[in-house]
Structure 1
Amino acid sequence: MVSKGKTTITFHSGILTIGGTIIEVSYEDAHIFFDFGTEYRPELGLKDDNLATLLKNRLIPELKGIYDPRLNYTYHGEDEQEYKETAVFLSHAHLDHSKMINYLDPKIPLYTLNETVKILRSLNRNGDFLIPSPFEAKNFTREMIGLNAYDVITVGKIKVELVPVDHDAYGACALLIHTPDSFITYTGDLRLHGYDRQFTLDFCQKARHTDLLMMEGVSISFDEKETEEIKVFSEEDLIAQLVKQIAANQKRQLTFNGYPANVKRFEQIIEKSPRTVVLEANMAALMQDVFGMNVPYYYPLNADTTISSLDTKLEVSYEELLADDHNYLWQAVANFEKLQSGGMYFHMDAQPLGYFDPKYQVFLDLLDLKKVEFVRLACSGHAFPQDLDTIISMIEPKILVPIHTLKPEKLENPYGKRILPTRGEKITEFKGE
């Protein structure tokens, strides 16, 4: 039976966890979903990313009529409603929001900003970023419909506007969702301390007095602890700290790595570094795809393919980088055991991400064994706790729903009601208090 004149929100996943957000908004015979990634649980040590494995370990939810029918998935949920129109939206390229898009039914349209399309296609050029489809070539990436900022898509009587926000994944957006009876807002992931702060400020104005605000709260998930890492307060501050470190270590091998979707950070490293920056070939290709930049690059050990779009005149040999101690700042992505003893490595939100990943301590131990100094220069892609409060104060939502956090109860709404949903819960009432 179709619910007439009633907006329903279903929180399939992304509740009491960081990542894997999948939320459904339905109205009459149309519904939309956002996002389409998986929870990040490296401690599980899973041997594969098969649909059955992900479902069994609750890294993704049961969804009716959404997964590729060729996967022979059988729905085990309780939803009996049939829909005439369906669409999926991606807020940005991070894997916890995009990893399983190749498992989406090919007939269902997938919308995101043009920048995210470029990043996902480039990162998956070797087929090792997204979960591969078992029915396609290894480097297959399913069709995505790229949109410009502020474009509006209509699905039945649901209208969705994609609004850019500041995040450490280039091309991130929030969603403003209008149905005949509700104005719903999904922040995606956002912050106020990156290069695109104004995007977030503009978004807050457009979302002002929304009926319901679904807001990420990653930064309130953890107790603040004093660490030995260098304190970084903004993307600009991170680059300044890096430049300072480079200048203080003029006769030393210097390497770094960062999360590839943060292409604006890589752009600034290239521009501001006192040394020539050399990127791993796939990262160089990503910078070319997104910004049209041609930068020095190298192929790592045992690379079995080359990238035809890269200028061969800009290639630096891997052997030259391994021997260098004064000309280059280069991106190290593998074979860390080959780095020079006494060198310095800058870890800038790269994999492995932190102590929750079993591979992190192994990585630190390897660098310590090689006597390579580990310097963590981290700048969160998520709003600081005080900035979360600032964003809420600018929007003044009638109802606040904290998601994408381990401690949703720490986010308050002085302007109305707060709802703390459970996984799988449906909400149909949008009256603030």
Structure 2
Amino acid sequence: MELKDRKTRITFHAGVLTIGGTVIEINYEGSRIFFDFGTEFRPELKLKDELLDTLIEHRLIPELDVYDEVFGRTVNGANTAVFLSHCHLDHTRMINYLDPQVPLYALEDTKRLIELLNQDGTFVLPAINKDYVTREILGVKPDSTIKVGDIEVTLHRVDHDAYGACGMMIRTPDCVIAYTGDLRLHGFDSADTVAFCEKAKNCDMLIMEGVSISFEGRPESKTNKFASEEALLDWIVDEVENHPNQQITFNGYLANVKRFAHIVAKVRRSVVLKEKMAYILKSLLDMDCLYEKDPNKDWGLNPELEVDISQRDEHPEKYLWQIQGFDDQLQSGGIYIHCDADPLGLFDPAYLVFKQQFLDKGIEFNHVGCTGHAFPNDLDAIIEMIQPKCLVPIHTLRPDLLLNPYGSVHLPQRGETI
């Protein structure tokens, strides 16, 4: 790709040589878009607070001119917009720090899911001195195009382990850029990823995540992960079938709405969800699910579907019960399925403490999952489908391992503008 003599400018503010915290700016003669708007996940830093200056100081977010003026910043919001590819926190966590005058766009499903997850104000970072819990997100339909000055952005669905995920096609008068967001080819909606690749074919630049290639040849790549969402679902169904008399509990990441929906549909026991999760499934998929009452909030669900928690212990063979965190009332000899739930793994200091509580209680602990990111071979397949003139790997620890037989590769530096 010939980069000179073009007016399009791309700045890689964050998300380079790391997993998460992607913030990229595209500028065409004063019109600007940004994607995404999350933070890096570094719990080991044990920050004193998570205010804007603290996050910038520790390089968890970049210095930008679109942060809320409440932080004492000068805001440049003219001909500017921010776009979200999906709801995961490394792509959304600082949306409440975005100045209210700057429009924020996402697919309607992502908008609704963020608002549901953040109803109690604990999902994304809290707004400072505002009367809203979640700042306004402008929901758009799949394949819709938003114009920001001379820049056009079209949002297309992709398959990821966050419901409502999208990739983006970005067009300026002199350039066509595809941004994958996070995507894969082995989920329930893999056809969406293939359709996105077809729309991106022969783009000038492909800005692409490469999470899975970060761990090639390292111990992290040899965990109890399944090759597809279907394979993971089959394992859960079999695990329940093979232990007909034991108390079995589970948890998953709430944004993986389709996984919860398939578990409810396929497991032969009655699946009882936390009321918030049942509300999410009702809101997004119009599914009616059994639920355990939330003592702190009335979600307005059908009271006939409520199951008292006493039933979990009195009739353990009847239910697959969702729990969140360790519950010391669980029965010894039971089984717990930790299905890509929080805490996510060894990189989180809370994980081993969490796991040990189950072991001390005599409960079998199964940490299983299916990655939301394309496997290394599938990354190659996606590049083959798109055949970009220039490939820019981001959201990975090893961008050098992604190759582009159809053109050049550019390995960006944090803060670099091309």
Q: Distance in 2 between matches of 1:116 and 1:38?
A: 17
Match of 1:266 in 2: 260
Cα RMSD (Å): 1.8
Contact 1:164-1:203 at 8 Å conserved across structures? yes
Query: 1:27-176 alignment to 2 at 5 Å?
Result: 27-64=28-65, 66-73=66-73, 84-137=78-131, 140-176=133-169
Residue among 230, 233, 237 paired with 2:227: 233
Q: 1:130 offset after TM fit, Å?
A: 1.0
Q: Secondary structure of the residue that 1:237 maps to in structure 2?
A: helix
Q: Secondary structure of the residue that 2:154 maps to in structure 1?
A: strand
Consecutive unaligned residues in structure 2, runs of 5 or more: none
Contact 1:30-1:83 at 8 Å conserved across structures? no
Query: 1:368-379 alignment to 2 at 5 Å?
Result: 368-379=359-370
Contact 2:70-2:128 at 8 Å conserved across structures? no
1:182-210 CA-to-partner distances (Å, cap 9, x unmatched) read: 01110000000001111111111110111
* Closer, same or farther: CA 400–226 of 1 in aligned 2, 3 Å: closer
Match of 1:11 in 2: 12
Q: 1:222 offset after TM fit, Å?
A: 1.1
After TM superposition, the runs of 4+ consecutive aligned structure 1 residues lying more than 4 A away are 226-231
* Closer, same or farther: CA 27–267 of 1 in aligned 2, 3 Å: same
Contact 1:151-1:161 at 8 Å conserved across structures? yes
Contact 2:146-2:152 at 8 Å conserved across structures? yes
1:290-313 CA-to-partner distances (Å, cap 9, x unmatched) read: 11212111136xx32222x21111
Percent identity over the alignment is 51
Q: Distance in 1 between matches of 2:279 and 2:342?
A: 19
Q: Distance in 2 between matches of 1:333 and 1:122?
A: 17
Contact 2:87-2:162 at 8 Å conserved across structures? yes
Match of 2:198 in 1: 205
Match of 1:217 in 2: 210
Q: Distance in 2 between matches of 1:413 and 1:402?
A: 10
2:401 equivalent to 1:410: yes
**AA matched with 1:20:** G
**AA matched with 1:272:** K
Q: Distance in 1 between matches of 2:228 and 2:338?
A: 16
Q: Distance in 2 between matches of 1:106 and 1:278?
A: 39
Contact 1:213-1:397 at 8 Å conserved across structures? yes
Q: 1:44 offset after TM fit, Å?
A: 1.4
Residue among 252, 268, 291 paired with 2:285: 291
Contact 1:208-1:394 at 8 Å conserved across structures? yes
Q: Secondary structure of the residue that 2:317 maps to in structure 1?
A: coil
Q: Secondary structure of the residue that 1:326 maps to in structure 2?
A: helix
Q: Distance in 1 between matches of 2:93 and 2:385?
A: 32
Contact 2:326-2:354 at 8 Å conserved across structures? no
Query: 1:293-308 alignment to 2 at 5 Å?
Result: 293-299=287-293, 303-307=295-299
**AA matched with 1:172:** A
Match of 1:245 in 2: 239
Residue among 184, 187, 193 paired with 1:191: 184
1:194-251 CA-to-partner distances (Å, cap 9, x unmatched) read: 0111111111111011111100000011134488864511111111010000000111
Q: 1:70 offset after TM fit, Å?
A: 1.3
2:378 equivalent to 1:387: yes
Contact 1:229-1:375 at 8 Å conserved across structures? no
Q: Distance in 1 between matches of 2:244 and 2:297?
A: 33
Moved more, 20-29 or 282-291: 282-291
Q: 1:323 offset after TM fit, Å?
A: 3.9
Q: 1:4 offset after TM fit, Å?
A: 9.7
Output the TM-score relative to the length of structure 2. 0.95
1:47-77 CA-to-partner distances (Å, cap 9, x unmatched) read: 432112211111100002x0110122369xx
Number of aligned positions between the proteins: 414
Q: Distance in 2 between matches of 1:292 and 1:36?
A: 29
Q: Distance in 1 between matches of 2:409 and 2:398?
A: 14
Contact 1:21-1:34 at 8 Å conserved across structures? yes
Q: Distance in 1 between matches of 2:210 and 2:313?
A: 41
